[in-house]
Amino acid sequence: MKSFTDYLWFNTANRRDLVNITEELQERVKKSKVMEGLCLVSAMHITAAIWVNDEETGLKQDLMEWLEKLAPVNPGYRHHRTGEDNGDAHLKRTLAHHQAVLPITEGKLDLGPWEQIFYLEFDGRRRKRVVVKIIGE
């Protein structure tokens, strides 16, 4: 069994952002030379997430608005008593989830017809990373 590990690095200009990482992941799959296996993609920061869905502007806006409704920017979070101001970012990450496991078939990510992979940032403007772990034959 082969194993391959690499990292994607992000430093978004905005506090909240969505970045399509599908092509970068496919490049890692190709580099790994794994033909049949799995690709784990995991945000390594507690205010970022991985999301698999359609590359459609309205849907992406809907997601960010929905997350804002469920976990609004709010100075009353208990987390803010620590001196932080990003309690909403932690909750948004919990809702969106921190990782995805993607199938690899015939040396390529085996995604549905409209599926794309996104890095979601909820507390950006500083350097963060995503681990890409690929295993298989």
User: Average pLDDT for consecutive 10-residue bins of the chain (137 residues)?
Assistant: 98 96 98 98 97 98 98 93 95 97 98 98 96 98
Instruction: Return d(Cα 100, Cα 6) in angstroms, integer.
Output: 15
Residue with token string 């920061």: 45
- The CATH code that applies to domain 2-136 is 2.60.120.460
Whole-angstrom CA distances from 119 to 17, 44, 50, 116, 132 are 8, 11, 5, 10, 12
Q: pTM for the whole thing?
A: 0.95
Instruction: Return d(Cα 33, Cα 20) in angstroms, integer.
Output: 22
